[in-house]
């Protein structure tokens, strides 16, 4: 099994859950521009919910206009949406 890459900027790594705890999102931004770079985008996407990613997507379209970032955010958004919709469908058949 591959060991996860641990970057100190992400906070403490909890091997039991496979998640970073006590993370400081501000440390992940590029200090010169205060914008996300590719590394930080992929680090914070798992920490966001569907509504938060939708806001990020809207900001990307309106302000930053970076195609690769937009595609990555949309991939994550559609994955979360599909999980939610699947769960709703499963709940319907249980009733």
Residue range 29-45, pLDDT digits in tens: 665 666 788 888 898 89
Residue range 65-91, pLDDT digits in tens: 999 999 999 999 999 999 999 999 999
- Residue 24 binned pLDDT confidence (cut-offs 50, 70, 90): low
Following DSSP, what letter does each residue of 22-87 receive, concatenated? S--GGGGS-TTT----HHHHHHHGGG--HHHHHHHHHHIIIII--HHHHHHHHHHHHHHHHHHHHH
Give the residue, 93 or 21, on which the prediction is more confident. 93
- pTM for the model: 0.67
């Amino acid at each position: 099994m591959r060991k996860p890459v641990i970057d100190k900027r992400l906070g403490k790594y909890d091997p039991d859950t496979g998640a970073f705890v006590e993370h400081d999102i501000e440390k992940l931004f590029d200090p010169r521009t205060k914008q996300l770079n590719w590394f930080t985008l992929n680090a914070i996407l798992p920490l966001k919910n569907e509504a938060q990613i939708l806001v990020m997507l809207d900001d990307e379209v309106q302000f930053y206009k970076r195609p690769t970032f937009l595609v990555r955010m949309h991939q994550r958004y559609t994955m979360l949406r599909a999980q939610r919709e699947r769960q709703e469908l499963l709940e319907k058949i249980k009733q």
